């Protein structure tokens, strides 16, 4: 039995750990496009900021691959899959045979068709190498523009600002952090970033990247405004990197579609992580939810199922936790509900940078957002995951004294009995 994993992100590690829970013997091969041991992509911002060093990046200890009998093919890109012959074909001509295959290629940065995007001085911010390139700019350039006011973009902005660059962020929506957070939360964070010296422009987009002698000189916004800069970082988001399934007949939608066992439409081939379109807990539908814990868990369940232990994945929950300049922020579940039928409760103390929001549907907690006061937020996540009816004690959940005592006795007793 040969296990082969394309991709070396957290989904791959999850898969290795999932396989090894059942099958300690059969060999696993990981085909890694990047020449590094698995690292947490979200950490590259910390690296850029100077808070951690490259030596700290590895997600698992050095001995992990050896201890788990994994052959690691570093710096080799898988190009195609020969389904009939059950082989992965590498760019450099290599052929890797498999009995069970996991596609965990993750996401690739979304690049919109902006005039002037091609050429030097335009960067993305998803990989370790990207962080390296930006690190090299520090001290050499003065101004930089980030396109995208989402989590990735803002973390990059924070890092670059701390290293002495003048940073401008351009966001298309009416607020930053538009996917995970709402207007109120966005304002709190936006104000904090402005205090720290970052210029945040919303409801706008970059129409053109202006070049002179092929080097970036500045940008032009949709409404005509201009900014000078010497580099641009496109950090709008990632889209599933599913190119590899071309010609295989594997069903795709936005991502690679998988069933409750993380299996694709082709037997023996699985997908997990940012590339997969898997069960989303709250909606009950298949969605691409490129969140770190989902990637790990999907990888783990894919691995278990690949090794023969038939275990259904219960579905992922969107959640994000990020701190901006001392303000911790968290968003879990459907924190930004669209449509009718939701009950929304909020508490705001702008002078303390504190905001809490709970979203209920039919009395059941489906989403939460916390800014500033985040202690024990996981209790809310647990309630969302278990679809608990909270209408009788929702006021208790809104307080900063949120505790297990806030829950009815039976729920608490059941939880704590484990």
Partner 1 sequence: MKKVYAREDVCIGCRLCEIACIVEHSISKDIIRAFKQEEKRPARNVVEECGPVSFSVHCRHCDEPPCVQVCISGAMVKDPRTGRVRNIPEKCVGCWSCVMACPYGVIKRDTNQGKVIKCDLCPDRDLPACVSACPNEALLYEER
**If binding is defined by CB under 8 A, does position 388 make contact with partner 1?**
no
At 348, is the secondary structure helix, strand, or coil?
A: strand
Cβ 403 to partner 1, closest distance in Å? 5
Query: Which of 202, 321, 346, 349 forms a contact with partner 1 (CB under 8 A)?
Result: 321
Range list of β-strands (E), 298-396? 319-324, 327-333, 343-349, 354-361, 364-371
Torsion sign across C-alpha atoms 8, 6, 105, 268: negative
Q: How many residues bind partner 1 (CB under 8 A)?
A: 44
Contact 309, 315 (CB under 8 A): no
In terms of CB distance, is 222 or 405 closer to partner 1? 405
Query: Which of 24, 27, 51, 120 forms a contact with partner 1 (CB under 8 A)?
Result: 51
**If binding is defined by CB under 8 A, does position 404 make contact with partner 1?**
yes
**If binding is defined by CB under 8 A, does position 40 make contact with partner 1?**
yes
Cβ 55 to partner 1, closest distance in Å? 10
Torsion of CA 260, 106, 329, 54, to 10 degrees: 130
Query: Which of 1, 43, 128, 266 forms a contact with partner 1 (CB under 8 A)?
Result: 43
**If binding is defined by CB under 8 A, does position 292 make contact with partner 1?**
yes
Cβ 194 to partner 1, closest distance in Å? 23
**If binding is defined by CB under 8 A, does position 206 make contact with partner 1?**
no
Contact 369, 335 (CB under 8 A): yes
User: 50: number of CA atoms within 13 Å, CB side?
Assistant: 10
Query: Which of 66, 246, 254, 376 forms a contact with partner 1 (CB under 8 A)?
Result: 376
Question: Which residues have C-beta within 8 Å of that of residue 286, sequence separation ≥ 6?
Answer: 253, 257, 258, 277, 278, 279, 280
**If binding is defined by CB under 8 A, does position 347 make contact with partner 1?**
no
**If binding is defined by CB under 8 A, does position 382 make contact with partner 1?**
yes
Q: In what order do the strands lie in the sheet with 3-6?
A: 70-74, 28-32, 3-6, 100-103, 269-271
Bridge partner list, 359 = 344, 367
Residues forming the site for partner 1 (CB under 8 A):
14, 40-43, 46, 51-52, 56-60, 292-293, 296-297, 300, 319, 321-323, 328, 330, 332, 374-379, 381-383, 385, 402-405, 413, 415-418
């Amino acid at each position: 039995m040969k296990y082969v994993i394309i991709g070396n992100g957290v989904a791959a590690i999850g898969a290795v750990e999932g396989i090894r829970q059942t099958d300690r013997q059969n060999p696993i091969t990981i085909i890694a496009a990047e020449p590094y041991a698995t690292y947490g992509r979200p950490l590259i911002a910390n690296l850029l900021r100077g808070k951690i060093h490259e030596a700290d990046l590895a997600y698992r200890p050095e001995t992990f691959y050896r201890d788990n009998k994994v052959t690691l093919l570093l710096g080799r890109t898988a190009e195609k899959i020969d389904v009939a012959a059950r082989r992965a074909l590498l760019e450099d001509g290599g052929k890797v045979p498999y009995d069970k295959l996991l596609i965990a290629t993750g996401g690739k940065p979304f690049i919109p068709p902006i005039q002037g995007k091609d050429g030097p001085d335009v960067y993305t911010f998803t990989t370790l190498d990207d962080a390296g390139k930006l690190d090299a700019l520090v001290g050499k350039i003065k101004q930089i523009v980030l396109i995208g006011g989402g989590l990735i973009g803002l973390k990059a902005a924070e890092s670059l600002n701390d290293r002495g660059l003048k940073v401008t962020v351009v966001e298309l929506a009416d607020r930053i952090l538009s996917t995970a957070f709402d207007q109120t939360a966005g304002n709190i964070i936006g104000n904090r970033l402005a205090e720290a010296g970052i210029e945040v422009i919303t409801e706008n987009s970059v129409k053109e990247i202006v070049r002179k002698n092929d080097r970036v000189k500045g940008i032009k916004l949709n409404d005509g405004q201009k900014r000078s800069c010497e580099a641009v970082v496109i950090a709008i988001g990632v889209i599933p990197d599913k190119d590899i399934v071309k010609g295989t007949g594997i069903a795709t939608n936005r991502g690679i579609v998988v069933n409750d066992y993380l299996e694709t439409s082709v037997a023996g081939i699985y997908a997990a992580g940012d590339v997969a379109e898997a069960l989303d807990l709250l909606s009950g539908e298949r969605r691409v939810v490129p969140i770190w814990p989902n990637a790990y868990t999907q990888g783990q369940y894919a691995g278990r199922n690949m090794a023969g232990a038939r275990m259904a994945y219960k579905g992922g929950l969107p959640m994000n936790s990020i701190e901006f300049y001392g303000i911790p922020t968290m968003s879990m579940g459907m924190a930004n509900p669209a449509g009718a039928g939701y009950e929304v409760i909020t508490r705001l103390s702008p002078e303390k940078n504190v905001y809490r929001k709970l979203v209920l549907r039919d009395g059941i907690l489906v989403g939460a957002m916390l800014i500033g006061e985040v202690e024990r937020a996981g209790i809310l996540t647990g309630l969302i995951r278990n679809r608990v009816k909270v209408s009788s004690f929702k006021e208790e959940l809104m307080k900063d004294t949120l505790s297990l005592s806030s829950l009815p006795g039976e729920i608490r007793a059941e939880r704590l009995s484990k």
